[in-house]
Chain A
Amino acid sequence: MIEVKDITKKFGRRKVLNGVSFTANKGEITCLIGINGVGKTTILNAIMNLTPINSGHILINGEKIKKESYEKITFIPDAITMLPQMRIAEAMGFMNDFYDCWNQERATELLGFFKLKESERISDLSKGNTAKVNLLLGLAMDVDYILMDEPFSGIDIFSREQIANVFTSHLIEDRGVIITTHEISDIEHLIDKVVLLDNGNVLKEFNAEEVRENENKSVVDVMREVFKA
């Protein structure tokens, strides 16, 4: 379980996170939704210790993050984390060199899944294919948790469909996933848990299926109510 407990974050005087708390379970897809810049990315950065927080704490399986944790949890930012001059094969080689949890077999499978060629240079790829390589590098790691920052933004519809397929496939296995988005409609049926954020606060944390079951509301219905209030 990933526990985010009452974290605050200021950039200068501007408060970006104002006591954010939520949990994300293994085997579930948790979606952080906010209408606009509400610190979703900052939360993911904070979980990965890529930006210091001012207060609060974050636990992964009950522990603070340490170097070994990066074999258990990975982050797929919205831009590719490899050098543009690298070929896909080289990027995969780099991951294989540095991570014990890298699963070459799965990486090869993902190449086929996304219809990518190993010999292609990252700088020559289309936006959609760059996003797919980025995703591949994270998904081919045998980790418990995967964080994804806006995996659907700014790419073509076919790539979106392909990426959405990942979530229902065995590639996610029983891992815990945290995903940020501002566009829920594509993935409404894919997610377990929704965390609605605004102005650095968690407005509501709920299970999508339970809301449909108990209140007969869609995720968007709940968002409408919460954000209007």
Chain B
Amino acid sequence: MNNIKFNNRDPVYVQVVRHFKEQIATGMLEPGKEIPSRRELANKLKINPNTAQRAYKEMEEEGLIYTERNLPSRITKDEQVLGGVREELILQAVDSFVSSIRSINVPVDEVLSLVKEKYAAEDKN
């Protein structure tokens, strides 16, 4: 787990959950993988243990992690949830991209071809 640069205005627990989702979507955190305890997480991310607790509670509610009795929590293996995470992240990114590109008034075809070009250029590198 890498360090996160937190912003000061969003709740820290929300930022932690987002961080987990990104890691799940990119495959850094595999389904069924054990996750650190709340104390370890707090220590790694330099956040308040209560906030780490809150983030885990949120993730548990969303079904992203599960806990069997007294064992450490793990990333869910539920394909549906995992797919949902990926979709959610993509949608969020597209949403913010669209809202910023909208303000410049660019036709959608032009944007799409530019995006394709960029993708191709980056793949070469």
B29 at the A/B interface (Cβ < 8 Å)? no
Q: Check A218–B42 contact: CB distance below 8 A.
A: no
State in angstroms the CA–CA spacing of A121 and B47 once bound together: 34
Q: Check B10–A209 contact: CB distance below 8 A.
A: no
State in angstroms the CA–CA spacing of A213 and B13 once bound together: 9
Q: A5-13, A32-40, A55-63, A162-170: which lies at the B interface?
A: A162-170
Q: Check A168–B12 contact: CB distance below 8 A.
A: no
Q: Check B49–A216 contact: CB distance below 8 A.
A: no
The residues in B between 5 and 27 inclusive whose CB is less than 8 angstroms from any CB of A are 6, 8-14
B8 is contacted by which of A165, A170, A220 (Cβ under 8 Å)? A220
Q: Check B9–A221 contact: CB distance below 8 A.
A: yes
Q: Check A165–B43 contact: CB distance below 8 A.
A: yes
A165 is contacted by which of B11, B46, B51 (Cβ under 8 Å)? B46
A219 at the A/B interface (Cβ < 8 Å)? yes
The minimal Cβ–Cβ distance linking B42 to chain A, given in whole angstroms, is 4
Q: Check A168–B9 contact: CB distance below 8 A.
A: no
Interface SS majority for chain A: loop
Interface SS majority for chain B: helix
Residue on B nearest A210 in the bound complex, by CB: B11
A209-B9 in contact given A164-B46, A165-B43, A170-B39 (Cβ < 8 Å): no
Q: Check B8–A213 contact: CB distance below 8 A.
A: no
Q: Check B47–A189 contact: CB distance below 8 A.
A: yes
Chain B residues, CB < 8 A from A168: 42-43, 45-49
How many interface residues does B have (CB within 8 Å)? Answer: 19
Q: Check A216–B9 contact: CB distance below 8 A.
A: yes
Interface centre among B14, B42, B48, B51 (most CB of A within 10 A): B48
Q: Check B43–A189 contact: CB distance below 8 A.
A: no
A188 at the A/B interface (Cβ < 8 Å)? yes
Q: Check A190–B47 contact: CB distance below 8 A.
A: yes
A216-B10 in contact given A168-B42, A169-B43, A209-B54 (Cβ < 8 Å): yes
Chain A residues, CB < 8 A from B67: none
The minimal Cβ–Cβ distance linking B59 to chain A, given in whole angstroms, is 16
The residues in A between 143 and 201 inclusive whose CB is less than 8 angstroms from any CB of B are 164-165, 167-170, 172, 188-192
Chain A residues, CB < 8 A from B42: 168
Interface residues of A (CB under 8 A from B): 27-29, 164-165, 167-170, 172, 188-192, 209, 212-213, 216-221
A189-B46, A213-B14, A221-B8 known; 8 new pairs, CB 8 Å cut-off, are A167-B48, A168-B46, A168-B48, A170-B39, A192-B48, A209-B12, A209-B51, A219-B8
Interface residues of B (CB under 8 A from A): 6, 8-14, 39, 42-43, 45-51, 54
| 30 A-B pairs with C-beta separation under 8 A | A164-B46, A165-B46, A167-B48, A168-B42, A168-B43, A168-B45, A168-B47, A168-B48, A169-B43, A170-B43, A172-B49, A188-B8, A189-B6, A189-B46, A189-B47, A189-B48, A189-B51, A190-B46, A190-B47, A209-B11, A212-B8, A212-B9, A212-B10, A213-B11, A213-B14, A216-B10, A217-B9, A218-B9, A219-B8, A220-B8
